[in-house]
Amino acid sequence: MKRIALILAAAVMAVVVISACQTETEKTYETRWAGETMEEILANIESQFGGFSQAMMEVNYRYNELYWAGVDENWGYAEYQLDKLLDATLKGFVRRPDREPSAAQFVNTSTPRLLEAIEEADRAAFLERFDRYADSCNTCHEMEDVPFVRVIVPEKRTTLIKF
């Protein structure tokens, strides 16, 4: 009998707690820096992600890694870096969709051609297409009115990865 009373008491308590949660009209969130309301939190988090320049920082890193992976004929690593570079670019478009048209030739033409050379494990084709890849970056930069951001084929190895 005591056991049934305890089970009933627990059930009633659970209903009270669930009901209290469901009738809550305003939520506040405990954060250290992001804000108190959902609107403040989202605005502050968005500002931390930045615009397209944040995506370009990752693209720069991936670009260098990609080049040296191709030079070393580390095709698995090259494909991995190209995939991550494209992913960073596409995520940049989420934040700045107006940038997408300028990068269309980079995404739709240069990237698939470079991928073909990687999949064929053809170093000569990779190096030739990488040159065009750099040109494709510069075309996008010119279309975005930042021609002073001039991309070159890397001259000095900075990666610690070697095949």
Q: If pLDDT is split at 50, 70 and 90, which confidence band does 5 have? A: very low
Which domains does the chain possess?
Answer: 2-49 (no CATH), 52-143 (1.20.120)
Lowest mean pLDDT among 4-13, 116-125, 143-152: 4-13
* Most confident of the following: 49-58, 105-114, 154-163: 105-114
Q: 162 φ, ψ to 5°? A: -145, 140
**E strands, the chain, in order:** none
Question: What mean pLDDT comes out for the span 9-29?
Answer: 51
Is the CB of residue 128 less than 8 Å from the CB of residue 140? no
Q: How far, in Å, CA of 118 to CA of 76, rounded?
A: 8
* pLDDT tens-place string over residues 21-44: 544 556 766 667 888 888 888 888
* pLDDT tens-place string over residues 64-109: 999 999 999 999 999 999 999 999 999 999 989 999 999 999 999 9
Report pLDDT for 21. Answer: 53
Q: How far, in Å, CA of 122 to CA of 75, rounded?
A: 9
Q: How far, in Å, CA of 92 to CA of 65, rounded?
A: 19
